[in-house]
Amino acid sequence: MQPVRWGILSTAKIGRVKVVPGMMKSPLCDVVAVASRDAQSARGMAEELGIAKAYGSYEALLADPEIEAIYNPLPNHLHVPMTLAAAAAGKHVLCEKPIAITADEAEQLKRAASQVLIAEAFMVRHHPQWHRARDVIRSGDIGELRSIQIIFSYFNADPGNIRNKADIGGGGLLDIGCYAVVAGRYFFDAEPLRVVTLMDRDPTFGVDRTTSALMDFGAGRQLAFTVSTQSVPYQRVQILGTKGRIEIEIPFNAPPDVPTRIFVDDGSMHGNRSARGIDFPVVDQYRLQGEAFSRVIRGAAPLDYGLEDAILNMRILDALRRSETTAAWERV
Ligand SMILES: NC(=O)c1ccc[n+]([C@@H]2O[C@H](COP(=O)([O-])OP(=O)(O)OC[C@H]3O[C@@H](n4cnc5c(N)ncnc54)[C@H](OP(=O)(O)O)[C@@H]3O)[C@@H](O)[C@H]2O)c1
């Protein structure tokens, strides 16, 4: 397979530190250019990572005929506008999560998605630990699924950080609540019917800093999550079945340089004593994500999660936000 020629839209930290280095490990991804609003920043990132071309504007990158695919890690309010601009330039787009601010905004991508490939960058769905946990569920080993509990938190009170700016799509729900929603849909293999939310907003920033929610997946299946942008860093997924339990130790930010593990527990002893660990060798989920999308571009694999999936996710995030206002269950 010929490697796909990628262009990187901005010097965003996630791209510079995680996603682009991950992609550059792969023979399927050729990262040929990076753009920034500031030419010097673009050159700095190009030099740091060994990228051949640096552009001082996003438009110049989109006009480069050599580039086939764009990675878009701009702040959330620019996901749809710049994905549309990239698509208009004939480029496929891997766009960071959440794909938009609202489902209606994400719908604007529909026509473009019939001309180029557009996908939302949920790298977690490429990690073998997620695949294995789902295999264990499907095997019936933990019985019927009843409940999923998710915590995802970090501490970031920097007023300059995009997560703390309400007008550009900040807040915990959009930043990390979206992972809880994806996890529920992935492990239950179903869509939630209704949701209810409790949000605590930062009094200065106005963004939600701690959000908890209950999601009803029907047939007695419940998901409860807490995400927080101003709590001690922690993350865990617990999946409870009638006969067993699965725990994913580092479910979202699985490191690219140390092994990860999940536990499968038949519950016969308390305190994790009956939990069996399953280890996963070192793997870079961002590399896997870049490779998967490159294969789809080359027609070597189907697009497992395209725009429709991203819009469904946004509809759930919309319902979670509506519930803050109505203080009631909201249908999705
Ligand atoms: N998948 C993951 O693991 C993961 C992890 C973290 C974040 N993310 C997502 O990635 C995106 C970027 O997050 P980040 O933490 O990397 O952000 P960041 O470091 O703040 O980068 C955002 C970049 O966007 C550009 N930009 C354009 N207009 C801007 C504006 N009005 N304000 C601020 N920046 C602007 C800037 O690049 P230039 O100055 O170079 O133009 C900036 O460096 C978000 O959508 C986030 O949800 C995903």
Ligand 1 binding pocket mutation candidate from 20, 34, 80, 96 (most atoms within 8 A of CB): 96
Pair 263, 249: CB distance under 8 Å: yes
How would you label 294-306 residue by residue, b for 16+ Cβ within 10 Å and e otherwise? bbbbeeeeebebe
Which residue, by CA, sits nearest to atom 27 of ligand 1? 74
User: How many A from CA of 93 to the centre of ligand 1?
Assistant: 16
pLDDT lower than 50: segments of the chain: none
Ligand 1 binding pocket mutation candidate from 9, 162, 305 (most atoms within 8 A of CB): 162
> What pLDDT score was predicted for residue 230?
98
> What pLDDT score was predicted for residue 298?
98
Ligand 1 in reach of 123 Cβ (< 6 A): yes
DSSP assignments along 80-142, one per residue: HHHHHHHHHTT-EEEEPSSSSSSHHHHHTTHHHHTTS-EEE--GGGGSHHHHHHHHHHHHTTT
> What pLDDT score was predicted for residue 85?
98
* C-alpha span between 21 and 157 (Å, rounded): 27
Ligand 1 binding pocket mutation candidate from 9, 36, 45, 74 (most atoms within 8 A of CB): 74
Ligand 1 in reach of 76 Cβ (< 6 A): yes
- Closest atom of ligand 1 relative to the 162 alpha carbon: 20
Rounded percentage of the chain residues whose pLDDT exceeds 90? 100
Q: Is the peptide bond before 98 cis (omega within 30 degrees of 0)?
A: yes
Virtual torsion, Cα 67, 29, 134, 195, nearest 10 deg: -30
User: How many A from CA of 175 to the centre of ligand 1?
Assistant: 11
User: How many A from CA of 164 to the centre of ligand 1?
Assistant: 12
* C-alpha span between 155 and 236 (Å, rounded): 16
- Closest atom of ligand 1 relative to the 74 alpha carbon: 24
Ligand 1 in reach of 73 Cβ (< 6 A): yes
Q: Which of 182, 264, 289, 187 is nearest to 227 (CA)?
A: 182
User: How many A from CA of 12 to the centre of ligand 1?
Assistant: 4
Ligand 1 in reach of 11 Cβ (< 6 A): yes
User: How many A from CA of 185 to the centre of ligand 1?
Assistant: 26
User: How many A from CA of 247 to the centre of ligand 1?
Assistant: 30
User: How many A from CA of 276 to the centre of ligand 1?
Assistant: 38
Which residue, by CA, sits nearest to atom 17 of ligand 1? 12
User: How many A from CA of 148 to the centre of ligand 1?
Assistant: 30
For residue 153, the one-letter residue type is S
- Closest atom of ligand 1 relative to the 252 alpha carbon: 3
